[in-house]
Structure formats: C-alpha cells, structure tokens
Amino acid sequence: MKIAAVAQPPTETHLRTLAQIGVEDLCFYGMAGMPPELEALRAEQQKAERCGLRLSVIEGGPPIDRIVMGTEGRDAQIEDYKRAIGHMGKLGIRTLCYNFMPQITKDAMVIRTSFATPERGGALTSSFELAGSDNDRVTDAGTTTDGKMWDNLEYFLREIVPVAEEAEVNLAMHPDDPPLSPMWNLARIMRSVENYERLFALQPSSVNGLTFCQGCFAEMGVDLEATIRRFAERIHFVHFRDVAGSLEDFRETFPDNGPNDMVRLMQTYKDIGYEEFIRVDHVPQLAIEEGSTEGYGMPGHIFAIGYLRGLMEPIFGSAHRMES
C-alpha cells in the first residue's frame, strides 16, 4: 500500500512539506474539475515532480453534473470525460476517484450540518445530524429517483469503461456522503454494499471499482473488515478516516480516536494483497489553524499521515527511504 496525499491549497510549500514528511505520491483534488487539457495536466504533474512527488491519483475528475442528472449536455460531458481519461493514461496517472452524487454544491453534495463540533481537546470537526438538517428542501435541480439515477449511471459506464480499459486507468467510485437517500429530494444510489455489487454488475470490467472510504462505509454501519475482504478485487483507492455515531447523527474523529480498529483494518488490506493508494481524508481542525478548513487543514493532515505511516510500517514493512 502507498500513501497518496492531498494538499489544500496545493501550493509548492505544501507539496514540499508532503515530500519532507515521507509522502511520495500526490492526489490531485478538485471537486470543480481537473485540468481539461493534456498540457495543463502535464503542468500539474511537473509541479508535483519539482516538489519531490509523483502525481498518481486524480480525485474529482471532469465536470459530471449533467451526466449524473441525465440532462441536456451529458453527451458532451462524456466526451470530455473520455479525453480526460486518455490524458491520464498518456501521463501514467492510473487512478481516478469520482462520485455519482448530484453535483449541485461545491462539494457535490457531501453534506455536513456543522464544521465546529468538538473533538479531542476541543479540536473542531465536521458532523452531520439529519434531525437538524434542511433535508426537505427542493433545489432548482428538481427531483430524481433511484431508477433514473441507475439508468444514468449505466449510460455513463457503457461509454467510459472501454476508454478506461484502453488507457489503463482504474475508475474508483466514491460512496455517497452521507450514504442517505434522498437528500434534498434527490436520489443517491451509492449508499450500500448491495448497490456497489450492482455497480460492478453493470460493467464487470476490472477497471470498474471503488474508493473504499472508511468513513462512508462506517456511516453505513457495515463490518469494515468483512467489506474490505468482500470487495478485495475492486478496491482501487482508499480514504483513511473514522466516524463516531450513527448514519443519521455522526461526527468525524481523529483517526486514532474513533471506534474502528485501524490496526486491524491495515492488516486486512495486507491480507487481501492491496498494493494501491490510500490517502488521509477529512481531519479535525487544530487550535493552531485559523479560519474554517472543512477537514483539509495541513497540520491535521500532517498528524494523520504520520499516524498512518506508523500503522503501515510494522504491517507492510519499512517504508521506502528517500535519499536526502
């Protein structure tokens, strides 16, 4: 297993910091979209390389809002998606993390009701409480149904999977966050283990896989170890985080302060032979940080990456030591 980290914002100072703490691979994170042209993506790759990193994962991908909702313009977006996957293949970037939530907020409907919930030592973290949410609202997007969303996903995968196979790019579907449906009267279909099985059945190709977001699957209330083993051949990317509470009322924790046994989960990834990328996901905001970080503060990520490296080394063996 290899760590691929996110830097928000992706300044060269932040990228160099990741390299200095032992990270070798970068995850380009952009919910608004990835660089659409080959040379723009190459420039991001070269920026990472100047700072001692490899650009190995794209998270977010091209705009997908019309594809998800099945509205006018989706075929043009699909063509853009095909080109983007082709660019990734040419540059040797082999993992694309995406989601199929309605794309009507800046985070594609990753919904939280607070970013100021107390965690250990008074650190501020994100939380979700269905009872305190505005889930009954209706947006300009109208409404959707499960059936329509599955039709839209099947249409998309039929076009995209052959391109991904040719480019040797793995598609890693992220769960809905939270995995509740409907949210704002919009159906969300990537919300259960059974629905992931249906995703894989739509396109049996090995490139059609998932991002195993530990937090989202914990929100579903499933046995994380058993689910990792169940999806062993389909896990193309892992998000490292933990949550405490229930699907309808949870908070995100420090990775060493949640209910799940992280040592056991690392051993499970080792057992299934997982060799791809894992990245630290949302982290609480530390006292030294000013202004809301919404889970992407660098100090919190540095702590969580150090904790993750400490978990990995005795299980996966000594990490590669970069030359000074």
Phi, psi of 169 (to 5 degrees): -115, 125
Determine which helix (DSSP H) or strand (DSSP E) holds 54, and give its type and residue range. Answer: strand 54-59
Positive or negative: CA dihedral 285, 290, 292, 293: negative
Positive or negative: CA dihedral 211, 75, 153, 295: positive
CA distance 117 to 253: 10
| C-alpha gyration radius of the chain | 19
β pairing state of 249-253 and 124-129: antiparallel
Instruction: pLDDT tens for the chain, 324 residues: list them.
Output: 999 999 999 999 999 999 999 999 999 999 889 999 999 999 999 999 999 999 999 999 999 999 999 999 999 999 999 999 999 999 999 999 999 999 998 888 999 999 999 999 999 999 999 998 999 999 999 899 999 999 999 999 999 999 999 999 999 999 999 999 999 999 999 999 999 999 999 999 999 999 999 999 999 999 999 999 999 999 999 999 999 999 999 999 999 999 999 999 999 999 999 999 999 999 999 999 999 899 999 999 999 999 999 999 999 987 544 444
pLDDT reported for residue 67: 98
pLDDT reported for residue 319: 55
Q: What is the arrangement of strands in the sheet containing 242-246, beginning at the earlier edge strand?
A: 114-118, 124-129, 249-253, 242-246
Question: What is the per-residue DSSP string for 161-222?
Answer: HHHHHHHT-EEEEEPPSS--S-BTTB-----SHHHHHHHHHH---TTEEEEEEHHHHHHHT-
Q: Where are the domains of the chain?
A: 2-316
C-beta separation of 55 from 28 below 8 A: yes
Of 253, 324, 311, give the one whose Cα is nearest residue 3: 311
pLDDT reported for residue 32: 85
CATH fold, domain 2-316, is TIM Barrel (3.20.20)
